[in-house]
Amino acid sequence: TTAPQDTSAAQERNTEPDIRVLLPWVRCTIAERCERKLPQGQGRIRWCRSWWRHREALARFAALYRAWVEATDPETGTGTALVAYYEHLDHALEVLMSDHGPFSAGA
């Protein structure tokens, strides 16, 4: 016989944020600050207004969300944690909006 699975431990290991939390967080924390009239075309960066349709974007934003929560926690967050978050955000946006990134097709 096997022991019943501890669902609370399994849920703690699931580090993906709820999409109902991630969507408004990206919109308010990232998209509204980044989605501006970006030049479109060859060699230009672009924001995808349907970003949640890209698995890579979901994964990167989920990781950024976890870092944001840790960095802004009043008990454990530090100024340097927020600086690290913005460094990761800058890199993630470069990848997502690059010529060969998931947003390159403008979906």
Across 23-36, b (16+ Cβ under 10 Å) vs e yields: eebbeebbbeeeee
Asked whether residue 71 carries a pLDDT value surpassing 50, the answer given is yes
Candidates 11, 96, 104; CA nearest to 59 is 96
CA-to-CA separations, 32 to 14, 42, 47, 49, in angstroms, rounded: 28, 24, 11, 11
- Distance of alpha carbon 39 from alpha carbon 91, whole angstroms: 19
Helix locations, the chain, DSSP H: 7-13, 19-26, 32-34, 55-72, 79-96
What pTM value is reported for the model? 0.72
- Regarding predicted confidence, which is higher, 45 or 11? 45
Q: Please tell me what DSSP assigns to residue 1.
A: -
Structural contact between residues 82 and 71, judged by C-beta atoms closer than 8 angstroms: yes
pLDDT for residue 24: 94
pLDDT for residue 16: 65
Tens digit of each residue's pLDDT (9 = 90 or more) over 24-61: 999 988 887 765 545 555 555 578 888 999 999 999 99
